[in-house]
Amino acid sequence: MEAAPTISAPPLPWAEVWGQPEALAQLQAAASDPAQLTHAWLITGPPGSGRSTLAYAFAAALIAEPGDEAAMRQVLAGTHPDLTALRTEQVIIRIDEARRLVERAYFAPSIGRYRVIVVEDADRMAERTSNVLLKALEEPPDRTIWVLCAPSDADLLPTIRSRVRTLRLREPDIADVARLISARSGVAPDIAEQSARHAQRHIGMAQRLATDDAARERRATTLRGVLEVRGVGDAVEVAGRIVAAATDDAKALGAERDEQERAALRRTLGIAEGAPVPPAVRGQLSALEDDQKRRATRSLRDGIDRVLTDLQSLFRDLLMVQFGNDAELINRELEPELRALAAAWTPSRTLAVVDRIAETRRNLEQNVAPTLALESMLVTVASGRIP
């Protein structure tokens, strides 16, 4: 195995920021010079580009005094009292969550230089929820900085966009992501390159694929299964398998965290292990369980959306083969199957499938039943027609 390349990291709090030198330079300058600092920022970039990582590094640089590494690490860990963060673990950001953020925004910083409000996945705010934030952005409290994260500025209302300074991140190259994954995890360069390619430059997903043999096998099995769909029966069977795998994956990722949260709440409430829950605090446990169920729903839908992203890459590759431009296939390992399908299908049929996958992703965002949505999409794969 080749030795993993050495990748130098900037000092705290920017040590985990990678591949965004222009954005890094702007935020470092703003954190050190009040004349370059604005009260609200929007960091945009494709999934896996490091939006959240950069947002928390910026928050740490704003809150902590220069050189105070202990305070910086506290911010990066999400435990500093002057950091308020909203991590979206549900399908949408609820309006009551937005109201709590706005309330916190009007508190003066307790021990740090600034109070920083970080909103991850700000694109998951409905219009009514976005309007709750609008007033705080229009009349910013002194020494409070907002940092919103979203895939694109087009995902937010124009009224929000007009009140923030937008920082657009670039999409890293596959080779760059592969080198990073190899350096971080020590996996073989060929596995790192394949994972970066299959993840379409999404750093977090590439890391998981590179270090999880089962995840790589599950992806390959799903794509081959879709290529073998020939009729309605196949569509129903493959859709069921996709949903079952995504459900199992979501449960595995969430089970340990759910149990830790329940145990922590019981300790906080003074309930001994194995003791019955007093009626007076059952509401708090029920509220936690409701939040965990909503998070599980989000995790399941995210998992299915990831499968649909993989399928988009598959049929994008098919179009590339059909038009004779196959130098940069995402799914190179499936080239023989793609060439066989390219000879049997017309490009218009492939485009119909690509459009259907995009429509299915939009439908899932509107809470359409995942199994039914996938079955309908796979019928289009089998027939070339939209049901």
CB-CB contact of 350 with 322 (8 Å): yes
CA 166 to mean position of chain CA atoms: 19
Q: Considering just the CA atoms, what is the radius of gyration of the chain in Å?
A: 23
Backbone angles phi, psi at 144, to 5 degrees: -120, 130
The verdict on whether omega for the bond into residue 109 sits within 30 degrees of 0, i.e. cis, is: no
Closest CA to 59 of 109, 99, 20, 100: 109
- How far apart, in whole angstroms, are the C-alpha atoms of residue 232 and residue 378? 8
Give the residue extent of every domain in the chain.
21-168, 174-211, 232-271+278-383
Q: How does pLDDT run across 191-214, given as a tens digit for each residue?
A: 999 999 999 988 888 998 999 998
Choose the CATH number for 21-168 among 3.40.50.12240, 3.30.450.20, 3.40.50.300, 2.60.40.10: 3.40.50.300
CB-CB contact of 284 with 261 (8 Å): no
Local structure of 159: helix, strand or coil: helix
Does this model's pTM top 0.75? no
DSSP string, 206-236: HHHHHH-HHHHHHHHHHHHHHHT--SHHHHH
Local structure of 306: helix, strand or coil: helix
- 301: enclosing H helix or E strand: helix 282-322
Element counts in the chain: helices (H) and strands (E): 15, 5
Give the pLDDT of residue 88.
Answer: 67
| Mean local confidence (pLDDT), 129-150 | 88
- Polymer length of the chain: 387
Q: How confident is the model at residue 20 (pLDDT cuts 50, 70, 90)?
A: confident
- Both tokens of residue 71? 């305070």
- 24: enclosing H helix or E strand: helix 21-32
Is pLDDT of 6 > 90?
A: no
Q: How does pLDDT run across 252-292, given as a tens digit for each residue?
A: 666 667 777 777 777 777 888 778 888 877 787 787 777 77
Return the percent helix, strand and coil in the chain, to nearest 5.
65, 5, 30
365 Cβ contact list (under 8 Å, min separation 6):
91
Q: How confident is the model at residue 8 (pLDDT cuts 50, 70, 90)?
A: low
Residue with tokens 């596995």: 191
Q: How does pLDDT run across 294-322, given as a tens digit for each residue?
A: 777 777 888 888 899 999 999 999 999 99
Backbone torsion region of residue 370, taken as left when φ is above 0, otherwise alpha when ψ lies between -120 and 50, otherwise beta: alpha
Q: How does pLDDT run across 209-236, given as a tens digit for each residue?
A: 999 998 899 999 999 999 999 899 999 9
Backbone angles phi, psi at 86, to 5 degrees: -115, 110
Amino acid at 17: V
363 Cβ contact list (under 8 Å, min separation 6):
373
Local structure of 272: helix, strand or coil: coil
Give the pLDDT of residue 142.
Answer: 85
- How far apart, in whole angstroms, are the C-alpha atoms of residue 51 and residue 212? 24
Local structure of 150: helix, strand or coil: strand
Give the pLDDT of residue 254.
Answer: 66
Residue with tokens 């965990």: 292
